[in-house]
Amino acid sequence: MSDPVRVRFAPSPTGYLHVGSGHSALANWLVARRTGGSFLLRIEDTDVERNRPELVDNVLEMLEWLGLTWDEEPVYQSQRGELYAGAAARLVADGAVYFCDCTTEAVQARNKEAGGKPGYDGFCRDRGLEPGPGRAARFRTPREGRTAWTDLVRGEVSFANADLEDFVVLRGNGHPMFLLANAFDDADMGITHVIRGEDHVNSTPKYLLLVDALGLARPTAFAHMPLLVNEGRKKLSKRRDDVSMADYRARGYLPEAMVNYLALLGWGPADGVEVRPVAEIVAQYRLEDVNASPAFFDQKKLSFVNAEHIRALSTDEFLARSRPFLTRGEPAADALASLAAEVQERVRTLAEVEPMIEFLVDDEPAVDEASWTKAITKGRSVPEMLDATIARLEALGPDDWTPEPIQAAVSQAAVDAGIVNAEGAPQLSKAQGPVRVAISGRSVGPPLWESIAVLGRTRTLARLRATRHQVG
């Protein structure tokens, strides 16, 4: 019987959690949940100059928001220095490392002079230097053979040992490098599957050499997830691209939609149905089905997936999820409740909800200039349409102030204004523009008839008259 699956997400808190890290975390979590294994969290906070407590907090908060809960207490590398020192001492005792006092500048100068390839040239390999301040410990990489593994995403991967430089495992100040702490911790935590980004492929042979040199058990499997790229097919950049997970939350993306979309990057369900509940993704997700090619992070598709998940909410849940995005409190909440079904059908994110119902909250609608120019300034027969609409709506009694009679009245107003097709039928697509902008200030929003019904007779007619006055 095989050992239970144990996977880990091991972020370095030198920046806020971004979609690339979220993608790796999700792959680990999905594998753990599908197999009944354990999802562990390890904070690799050994970079004392760049790590900050608020960045750790952000990682934890964003994982919780996504629903990627971990199964054991988080492990913090900053608290495990003695363990790494012990591992390093074993490497020194076994002659697996040597000490080096070369500066980066010296290595670069020698490489330039020799016309050789970049990287460390092995200058101190046989100098026999003793440990001391400013002397780093380098791993004595074998010069023969190959280091290989079977990758669940990439298949057989192999590196010639001769192509690997003697890499640093201890800095000159005695602090462990990432590779040493990473390899030791995976073995110590019983990690069976190492699932991480493609950018770690080149470090994996070094990882395996370290594991072997320490006499530790190799993980059962590796999987290097595809690179996430932008529209220009360049790697997503925290400086250049919109990648912050917290920003997506603030803009009204649902966590289940984000999980759904991230899962689709490099993977697709066998039945081709992409938008689905997280539980169904868990049941179908397999690393062997992940494509190794770079995956395009398409924000338009993310918004589409988010809109679909919003539409799948019950009305009560939609109202509850929208409330944190309503800056105007109860008036906005009441306004939304009156048009909940119509708004829910049209928004892509929860941050779009309040702008859609502001015309119900404000005494006067805030006017979108582009909408005004298109519908009023450049609109067809605008004065005639406004005059006719006012007259037709004034004729409606209180009991008729409902969507269907309102639609009929505006349709007849279009005929009155001459906005008709060749058969004399009203062209509502052209006639509605001035009316919509007059009552809401925007060219897009909830259905016009329902909006007018909720806005009420008095406010609707007042806004139509005010706009007509502006038109002159």
Residues involved in catalysis? 238
- Give the integer Cα–Cα distance in Å for 27 and 264: 11
Q: How many residues does the chain have?
A: 472
Tokens 């069976």 correspond to what residue? Answer: 192
- Give the integer Cα–Cα distance in Å for 151 and 224: 7
- Give the integer Cα–Cα distance in Å for 3 and 316: 44
- Give the integer Cα–Cα distance in Å for 472 and 470: 5
The answer to whether the CB of 443 falls within 8 A of the CB of 436 is yes
Q: What is the DSSP string of 32-72?
A: HHHHT-EEEEEE----TTT--HHHHHHHHHHHHHHT---SS
- Give the integer Cα–Cα distance in Å for 327 and 134: 56
CA-CA-CA-CA torsion sign (342, 345, 346, 350): positive
- Of 439, 440, 429, 434, residue with least CA distance to 463: 439
- Give the integer Cα–Cα distance in Å for 116 and 119: 9
- Within a 10 A sphere around the Cβ of 79, how many other Cβ atoms? 10
CA distances from 471 to 29, 171, 265, 359, 375 (A): 59, 74, 51, 20, 11
Give the DSSP H or E segment for 408: helix 403-416
3-state secondary structure of 98: strand
Say if strands 38-43 and 6-9 run parallel, antiparallel, or are unpaired: parallel
The answer to whether the CB of 351 falls within 8 A of the CB of 373 is no
> Going edge to edge, which strands form the sheet with 38-43?
75-76, 38-43, 6-9, 193-197, 221-225, 146-151, 155-160
The answer to whether the CB of 6 falls within 8 A of the CB of 189 is yes
Question: First-to-last CA distance in the chain?
Answer: 84
